[in-house]
Chain A
Amino acid sequence: MSNEPLLQSRRNALKCLAYGGAGTLFALSGGVLTPFDLAIAATDKSGRGKVGVPLFVQISDTHIGFSKDANPDVSGTLARIIDLVNGMSEQPALIIHTGDITHLSKPAEFDVAQQLLSRLRVTELHTVPGEHDTADPAVTEYFSRFGKASGNKGYYSFDHSGVHFIALVNVLQFKPGGLGTLGPDQLAWLADDLKGRSSSTPIVVFAHMPLWSIYEPWGWGTGDADQLTPHLRRFGSVTVLNGHIHQIVQKVEGNMTFHTARSTAYPQPAPGDGPGPGPLKLPADQLPKALGITSAMTVKQSLALTDTAIT
């Protein structure tokens, strides 16, 4: 275990270093989730030894099929991300994709996304759908490809390396005029899923839309997410991950850390900046920076995240 004071407390169980806007890498060290910098993983062996074995990479909002000015080559940026992950000196155990795999739920878009993701050396891929993946009139494309894990319900759980992972879906039961919804069936399933589990089990919850209200006028939240808290509160380490808003926002409440990942495709405006959450078009030389693949960006964001993670 490192002497790094930030790693000493289970209350500080999860920190994360946002890497490059492309993936956020978490590592398991001494039984708790601790930060790990993908850039270090690729180049710095002493850094790797300090934080332990990488557990998973979160990729989000790949939006395959998007071709507007904000990023005409989303397949290219995803391919670069995959190369970076594959180049890590030590491979994570699994990959989590937190939705909006495609832009328009078209079969051809899913095909391209699956072909690209199949290039990952890490073959264990867990997904949840985003609303862009369930926009086909019959809502069948996502589930015909990724529905097996959940029996076509969208939500499921699994264990890996002593961590309990819970995949939730909050894009299927929109109430008009409202936010994302989990719904009573899913909440009842979650209560049952957690029943009898040791409170010392690290929990990772992931969904597409934020599981707390970030900006309601743009629908950046989940209306009944507060009903998760009673089930999760007793666990010593709870990490709640999502995508959807194409930028990093984090908050910590007790033992629960909430974190939104960036997109691999294009940025979106800060909450309330402009008429709506459309693609944010930046000058060409700014886009890679917004996707965060410069080291300066990584350092800056890791510091910011570390600050907010200390309770």
Chain B
Amino acid sequence: MGSRILRTLLTVAGASTLWLFLAHNPSSAASPESAQIVIRDFMFQPMSLTVKAGSTVTWTNADDEPHAVVSDANVFRSGAIDTNETFSFKFETPGTYHFSCSLHPRMVGTVVVQ
């Protein structure tokens, strides 16, 4: 019993730490609860990404040209992301989220939230 409570406490503590970590380091790739998409050469890399509900996805623009991430269903819209800038969005609800670049609409990608 005691060890189960301890384990629960540790899990809660771990989750809290993780939450704090995510809140302060939204662009980190160290945790499975955050994921990265790099924009390079007018492509989202990777083009498709699968994450757990509650995960934060961060887009980083590595091009010399600004890009803007816009969800097809208008769930999120970044505004212009200039070179080396980032945009993050936390996906709370499971589903498939298609997005494109509003400056270069042939650039498309997908985030699947499980």
Q: Give chain B nearest CB distance to A140 CB in angstroms.
A: 11
Residues A68 and B64 in contact, CB atoms below 8 Å apart: yes
Say whether A147 faces chain B, with CB atoms less than 8 Å apart. Answer: no
Q: Does A174 contact B (CB under 8 A)?
A: yes
Within the complex, what minimum Cβ distance (angstroms) separates B44 from chain A?
12
Chain A residues with Cβ under 8 A from B72's Cβ?
A: 176
Is B42's CB under 8 angstroms from A275's CB? yes
Chain B residues 42-84 with CB under 8 Å of chain A are 42-43, 63-66, 68, 72, 77-80, 82-83
A224 shortest CB reach to chain B, Å: 14
A106, A131, A177, A279: the one within 8 Å of B103 (CB): A131
Stretch at the interface among B2-10, B11-19, B28-36, B104-112: B104-112
Which of chain B's residues has its CB closest to A176's CB?
B100
Determine which residue in A179, A218, A219 has the highest number of CB atoms from chain B within 10 A of its CB, and name it: A219
Contact check, B42 vs A105: say whether CB atoms are below 8 A apart: no
Give the distance to chain A from B19, nearest Cβ to Cβ, in Å.
25
Smallest beta-carbon distance A245→chain B, Å: 12
| Candidates B79, B100, B106, B108; contact of A136 at CB < 8 Å | B79
- Given A103-B66, A135-B66, A276-B65, A175 contacting B105 (CB threshold 8 A): yes
Chain A residues contacting B100 (CB-CB under 8 Å) are 174, 176-177
Contact B103 A132 (CB under 8 A): yes
Other than A135-B79, A219-B104, give 16 A-B pairs with Cβ distance below 8 A.
A68-B64, A69-B64, A131-B102, A135-B80, A135-B103, A137-B79, A176-B108, A177-B100, A177-B106, A179-B106, A180-B105, A218-B104, A275-B42, A276-B63, A276-B65, A277-B65
Q: How large is the interface on A (under 10, 10 to 19, 20 to 34, 35 or more residues)?
A: 20 to 34
Chain B residues within 8 Å of A218, by CB: 42, 104, 106
- A-B pairs with CB below 8 Å: how many? 73
Closest B residue to A279 by CB, please name it: B64
Q: Which B positions have Cβ atoms within 8 angstroms of A?
A: 41-43, 63-66, 68, 72, 77-80, 82-83, 98-100, 102-106, 108
- Among all A-B residue pairs, the 9 with the closest Cβ atoms: A276-B42, A176-B100, A275-B41, A174-B105, A135-B80, A104-B80, A137-B79, A278-B65, A219-B106
Within 8 A of B (CB), among A124-155: 131-132, 134-137
A-B contact pairs, 8 of them (CB 8 A): A68-B83, A104-B82, A105-B79, A131-B102, A174-B100, A177-B106, A275-B42, A276-B63
Q: How far is the CA of A216 from the CA of B104 in the complex (A)?
A: 11
Q: Does A178 contact B (CB under 8 A)?
A: yes
Chain B residues in 8 Å Cβ range of A49: none
Residue of B43, B72, B77, B103 contacting most chain A CB atoms (<10 Å): B103
Q: From the candidates B41, B77, B80, B83, name the one contacting A132 in the complex (CB within 8 A).
A: B80
* A contact residues around B79 at 8 Å (CB): 105, 135-137
Give the most central of B63, B64, B108: most A CB within 10 Å: B64
Q: How far is the CB of A112 from chain B (nearest CB, A)?
A: 16
